[in-house]
Amino acid sequence: MADEDDIILSELDDEELVQQMMDDLYDGLKEEIEEAVEILLERGWTPYDILTKALVAGMTIVGADFRDGILFVPEVLLAANAMKGGMAILKPLLVETGAPRMGKMVIGTVKGDIHDIGKNLVAMMMEGAGFEVVDLGINNAVESYLEAAEREGADIIGMSALLTTTMPYMKTVIDALKEQGKRDTYIVLVGGAPLNEEFGKAIGADAYCRDAAVAVETAKTLVSRRHNQMGA
Ligand code: B1M
């Protein structure tokens, strides 16, 4: 009787392989995910398609079952670890586009929040698009963002929050920028699953970014608008 161990990933067609990756991500099988990513790359898939169509899509299923109480924190951590294994292979490929430097962003997950997969993805895609990215990691207080932005001479401050309890902290950071007279020094982009357009507006961010691709496009638009204004 054939069991899971007998599946030879390289013998699956693309559709079956992506389906298998979703199962493997769900089961937190890091090595299998890494192998499958390599296979898809060999088959000519773009790093971006592998990220979005296999890894992010698989993580969405994990998220739904976590929400519904079918999966618990340990399983989700394993899935996250498997996803990170795949992302580590894709990162240099997304970054090596050789695009001209577009600007600099500091990005981090806000205080009280340890979710970092989405933030890492945004950082990767921004680097791939030619931005210089300083990743502040997780659980960032106001001072962390402000000091890093100043030290790095950043154009953009990016904030990520995945919890309804931590997303209000983004306003704390923006208010601190206002108090220090630095709000207009930086473009502030926010993102994370529980946010939306209205929330972004309400807290005074320059833009809410639904996903990493939107973050890249928004950053490009706002940075070039700013350069044009400065040049005018
Ligand atoms: Co957490 N968790 N979690 N979790 N977790 C969520 C967010 C949750 C929605 C799950 C659920 O119930 N369905 C829920 C929040 C509910 C709520 O607030 N309303 C939740 C909860 C409750 C919790 C804990 C409280 C659970 C507990 O302990 N009881 C706890 C909190 C810990 C803390 O932070 N203090 C917790 C812990 C964890 C793990 C540690 C197990 C793990 C995190 C591992 C890690 O990140 N290293 C985890 C995970 C993995 C998730 C889910 C399943 C997946 C998140 C993820 O990585 N998605 C998540 C469910 C979900 O979101 N559907 C969930 C994939 C990622 C690519 O998407 O992060 O949305 P996302 O990023 C996207 C966009 O949002 C956007 O672009 C990204 C790429 O396209 N984006 C940005 C994100 N940040 C951006 C920043 C930008 C721009 C765009 O700046 C410019």
The domain spanning residue 124 has which CATH number? 3.40.50.280
Picking from 97, 124, 141, the residue at the C-terminal end of a domain is 97
3-state secondary structure of 138: coil
- Report how far residue 164's alpha carbon sits from residue 83's, in angstroms, rounded to the nearest whole number: 23
| 63 — pLDDT class (breaks 50, 70, 90) | confident
Q: Is the CB of 105 under 6 A from ligand 1?
A: no
Same domain for 137 and 227, yes or no, is yes
Mean pLDDT of 126-133: 81
Q: How far is CA 22 from CA 3, 53, 72, 162, 205, in A?
A: 17, 10, 17, 22, 34
Picking from 77, 97, 117, the residue at the C-terminal end of a domain is 97
- Report how far residue 185's alpha carbon sits from residue 68's, in angstroms, rounded to the nearest whole number: 42
Instruction: Output the CA 184–ligand 1 centroid distance in Å.
Output: 29
pLDDT by residue (tens digit) across 161-204? Answer: 999 999 999 999 999 999 999 999 999 999 999 999 999 999 99
Pocket test for ligand 1, best of 48, 59, 162, 218 (most atoms within 8 A of CB): 162
Mean pLDDT of 89-101: 73
pLDDT given at position 98: 53
Question: Is 49 a residue whose pLDDT tops 50?
Answer: yes
Same domain for 93 and 114, yes or no, is no
Instruction: Output the CA 71–ligand 1 centroid distance in Å.
Output: 14
Buried b (16+ CB within 10 A) or exposed e, 182-205: eeeebbbbbbbbebeeebbeebeb
pLDDT given at position 97: 55
Q: How far is CA 58 from CA 41, 54, 61, 79, 107, in A?
A: 18, 6, 5, 9, 24
Which residue segment(s) compose the domain that 76 sits in? 2-97
Structure tokens at 99: 């695009």
Assign residue 91 the CATH number of its domain: 1.10.1240.10
Same domain for 115 and 144, yes or no, is yes
Same domain for 91 and 160, yes or no, is no
**Segment (H or E) for 149:** helix 142-152
Can you give the length of the chain in residues? 232
pLDDT by residue (tens digit) across 30-44? Answer: 999 999 999 999 999
Q: Is the CB of 40 under 6 A from ligand 1?
A: no
Question: Is 107 a residue whose pLDDT tops 90?
Answer: yes
| 2 — pLDDT class (breaks 50, 70, 90) | very low
Q: Is the CB of 63 under 6 A from ligand 1?
A: yes
- If one counts the domains in the chain, the total is 2
Same domain for 108 and 209, yes or no, is yes
- Report how far residue 77's alpha carbon sits from residue 79's, in angstroms, rounded to the nearest whole number: 5
Same domain for 213 and 144, yes or no, is yes
Q: Is the CB of 211 under 6 A from ligand 1?
A: yes
Same domain for 90 and 126, yes or no, is no
Same domain for 119 and 226, yes or no, is yes
